[in-house]
Structure 1
Amino acid sequence: MELSGKVAVVTGAGRGLGRAYAEALAAAGAAVIVNDVDGNAAAAVADGIIAAGGRAVAVAAPVGSAETADRLVGTAVKEFGRLDVMVTNAGILRDRVLWKMSDEDFDAVIDVHLRGTFTCARAAAVRMREQGTGGRLILVSSPAGQRGNFGQTNYAAAKAGIVAMARTWAMELARANITVNAIVPVAATEMTKTIPVFAPIIEESERTGQPLPQWLRRDEGLGTVEDVAPLVVYLASDASAEVTGQAIGIGGDRLALWSHPSEKAVAFANGGWTAETIAGSWQTGVGAEPETYGVPAPKVPDEKS
């Protein structure tokens, strides 16, 4: 994919998935604003891109506020003359079960993930509409936002909201030729190392330099951060001009399109429903096949290959 002449902002790009996105976009020819709350990490990524022959500028700032969003967009315009791609990747975790989650735990995650996506996307949309040449908003969601996950009230709510915003903005920005998509990445990162069944496998792969086992890459869709980055490059390119309003999963060897919520079963009662008629018909009617919930537990084969 050729991205020469395009300018991208990647938030939370100092390490992990964000770093992979920034480096892949730069390798494809885009100039990149590398944002991270850790200034040293952002600078290291930008320096690496420049050393490899690319163009990059680091911006150290916490995502969430309109001021940071405006600063990121302003830096893109000042340094490279325009903005074509906004990748809202920055995020934090404050995992707690519901009855132990504090207001601060909830607000911190919502502020970075959900508000940060909103403010950065808004600032980018304003600039892209002014330019009049279209653009790309690539929002980062999670399987937890699609299915829920134990101990992640704040994170799951934010990631679900991000997909809802992608669908909404795809409609609002269509006339400006700005596409909006959510990606649902799965990769071996510091976050996934906290999952007990994955931790020893990832650590063994890092220690030996051997690739992750095929069952993990295919069945669980979990690979390296570099496995995820090509989706961001594709969505940033002209080749994806007709793709918008979608939630797209990627990880390991797996690429998937997530379905949008829709009515699964419908029943009617003349004159309306009462609590009693709902109870009487639930198990044989619309509730006969209830939906599952939660991220499924990994299925570890007896013989890993």
Structure 2
Amino acid sequence: MDLAGRVAVVTGAGAGLGLAYARDLARGGARVVVNDVDAAAAEAAVEAIRGEGGIAVAEAAPVGDSEAAQALVDRAAGEYGRLDVMVTNAGVLRDTVLWKMTDEDFDAVIDVHLRGTFTCVRAAAIAMRAQGEGGRIICVGSPTGQRGNFGQTNYAAAKAGIVGMVRTWAMELARARITVNAVIPVAATAMTRSVPFLKAHVEALESGAELPPYVRRTLGLGTPQDAAGLVTFLASDAAADITGQAIGIGGDRVGVWSHPQQISAAYATGGWSADDLAGVWSTALRPHLQTFGEQLPQPQE
């Protein structure tokens, strides 16, 4: 992919998936503003990109509020004269079950993931619309936002909200030729290390072991680098007609997530009473009820 002349901002790019996205964009020729709450991590990421021949600068800030979002857009414009790509990757975890989750646990995750995505995309959209040359907005979701996950009320709410905003923004920004998509990655990172059914595989990868085909294909789990190509593709001219989508990537697998839609219906003239619903539920609606949480196949021997 040739991204020469493009300018990208990647939030939460000091490590893990964000770093992989920033490095891959730079390899494609984009000039990158690397954001992270950890200034040292952001600077180390910039050095890694420059060591590979890329162009990047660091902008340390905790995403969430409007001031931080505007600072990122301003840094891109100040350093490189424009903004073409916004990748909202920054996130935190505060996992615990519902009855133990505090207001602070909930607010911290919502502020970084959901509000941080909103403020950064809003600032980017204003800048891109003013340029009048289109743009690419790539928001990072999660399977948890698509399916739910035990102990992640706050994270599930934020990630589901991000995909909902993506569909709305795709409509609102279409006339400005700004595409908006969500990436749903599964990769071995510090964040996925906390997921029980992935922990052993993440630790194995960290120890230098190769992931077996079952993990890379069936679970769709790989390295952060395995997920980076999708972001670069969506930032390119090759993806100019792709918008409003949630696209999963991980290990050896890539796929498109469905949007919520009504899958069954029954009708009663004059509406439905509770007794009416009880009478038809088993035959008309129960067969169509959906699963929730990750439905994992058994490992292959």
Indicate the TM-score class for this superposition, using the shorter chain for normalisation: over 0.9
Q: Describe how 1:1-305 pairs up with structure 2 within 5 A.
A: 1-207=1-207, 209-297=208-296, 299-301=298-300, 303=301
For residues 56 and 174 of structure 2, the distance between their equivalents in structure 1, rounded to whole angstroms, comes to: 29
> Counterpart of 2:263 in structure 1: which amino acid?
K
For residues 195 and 102 of structure 1, the distance between their equivalents in structure 2, rounded to whole angstroms, comes to: 20
For residues 168 and 194 of structure 2, the distance between their equivalents in structure 1, rounded to whole angstroms, comes to: 33
Q: Is the 8 A contact 1:197 1:298 kept in 2?
A: no
For residues 51 and 184 of structure 2, the distance between their equivalents in structure 1, rounded to whole angstroms, comes to: 30
Q: Is the 8 A contact 1:5 1:31 kept in 2?
A: yes
> Counterpart of 1:88 in structure 2: which amino acid?
T
Q: Is the 8 A contact 1:149 1:294 kept in 2?
A: yes
Give me the identity figure in percent: 64
Q: For residue 128 of structure 2, give the secondary structure of its aligned residue in structure 1.
A: helix
CA deviation after TM superposition for structure 1 residue 53, in Å: 1.3
For residues 52 and 251 of structure 1, the distance between their equivalents in structure 2, rounded to whole angstroms, comes to: 24
For residues 203 and 183 of structure 1, the distance between their equivalents in structure 2, rounded to whole angstroms, comes to: 24
Query: What is the TM-score of this pair, normalised by structure 2?
Result: 0.98
CA 1:226–1:34 in 2, change beyond 3 Å: closer, same or farther?
same
Q: Is the 8 A contact 1:139 1:166 kept in 2?
A: yes
Q: For residue 193 of structure 2, give the secondary structure of its aligned residue in structure 1.
A: helix
Q: For residue 287 of structure 2, give the secondary structure of its aligned residue in structure 1.
A: coil
Q: Is the 8 A contact 2:188 2:205 kept in 1?
A: no
User: Once the two structures are superposed, what CA deviation does each residue of 1:48-96 show, in whole Å capped at 9, x if it has no partner?
Assistant: 1112211101011000000000000000000001000000000000111
> Counterpart of 2:134 in structure 1: which amino acid?
G
User: Once the two structures are superposed, what CA deviation does each residue of 1:112-153 show, in whole Å capped at 9, x if it has no partner?
Assistant: 000000000000000000000000000000000001111111
Flag structure 1 segments of 5+ consecutive residues without an equivalent: none
CA deviation after TM superposition for structure 1 residue 300, in Å: 2.2
Flag structure 2 segments of 5+ consecutive residues without an equivalent: none
User: Once the two structures are superposed, what CA deviation does each residue of 1:172-195 show, in whole Å capped at 9, x if it has no partner?
Assistant: 000000000001000011122223
Q: Is the 8 A contact 1:59 1:72 kept in 2?
A: yes
- Over 4 Å off, 4+ runs: none
CA deviation after TM superposition for structure 1 residue 298, in Å: 5.8
Which is further off, 281-290 or 54-63?
281-290
Q: Is the 8 A contact 1:6 1:83 kept in 2?
A: yes
